[in-house]
Amino acid sequence: MTEPLGGHDGPYDAPIEIHGFKVLPEWIDYNGHMNVGYYGVAFDMALERLMVDHLGLGEVQVSALGQGPYVLQSQMSFLREVLEGQSLTFRFRMLDADHKRGHYFAQMLSASGEVCATQEALFMNVSHTTGRSVAYPDWAAARLARMARDHAELEPAPQIGQPIAIRRQ
C-alpha cells in the first residue's frame, strides 16, 4: 500500500502532547503508588496514540500491511510518585529515524505539569509474516524523518542517552 493510513504529514508540534490518561486502580501496588510495570503500559498506550493519530502507523498499519513497530530497547527514569486517579499527559519527541527504525524520548507529566517519568526507546518496523525487519512505506519513512526534523531544536532532556550505573563520588 502506497497511500497513508491516517495521521498527517506535519508539521509536527514540538513536542507532541498526548492527553487523556488516568491512573487506574489496578495499576497501584502495595506501596500505594503506580507499579513500575504500569509505567511501561502507560507509555506504550500513549505511543500507540502518537503512532496512529500523527503517523498513521501502529495498529492501523498492522491491520492494513501486516507490519508494525516493535520496541527493541527502552529505558525509563522514575522521577515522582504517580497515584491512583491522577491525570497524565505525555510529551513525545522523535530523536532520530531511518527507513526501518525510530528513536524517541517521552515524558510522563502530572496534571500540574511535573515530569513524573521519562522513557527513551528505539523501535523497528517488523513484518508479521517473516518476523524480520522491513522498511517502512515511503510515506511513513518521510513522516518519521519530518517529525525528527521538527523536533531537532528542542532542548535536550538530561535523561536522554544516560547509562544505567551506580554513581560514585
* Amino acid 167: pLDDT: 85
Question: What percent of the chain is modeled with pLDDT above 70?
Answer: 99
Burial grade of 144 (CB within 10 A; 0-12, 13-18, 19 or more): buried
* Amino acid 1: pLDDT: 55
Each domain of the chain, given as residue ranges in start order, spans 16-151
Q: The C-alpha cell of 93 is what?
A: 519527541
Please report which helix (H) or strand (E) contains residue 123, including its range.
Answer: strand 115-127
Does pLDDT of 123 surpass 90? yes
Q: How many residues does the chain have?
A: 169
**Residue 47 CA to its chain's centroid (Å):** 4
Q: The C-alpha cell of 146 is what?
A: 519530518
Please write the tens of the pLDDT for every residue from 13-57. Answer: 999 999 999 999 999 999 999 999 999 999 999 999 999 999 999
Among 3.40.640.10, 3.10.129.10, 3.40.50.1100, 3.30.9.100, name the CATH number for the domain at 16-151.
Answer: 3.10.129.10
Please write the tens of the pLDDT for every residue from 125-134. Answer: 999 999 999 9
Confidence band (pLDDT; 50, 70, 90) for 169? confident
Confidence band (pLDDT; 50, 70, 90) for 2? confident
Nearest in space to 88 (alpha carbons), one of 106, 104, 71, 101: 106
Please write the tens of the pLDDT for every residue from 56-67. Answer: 999 999 999 999
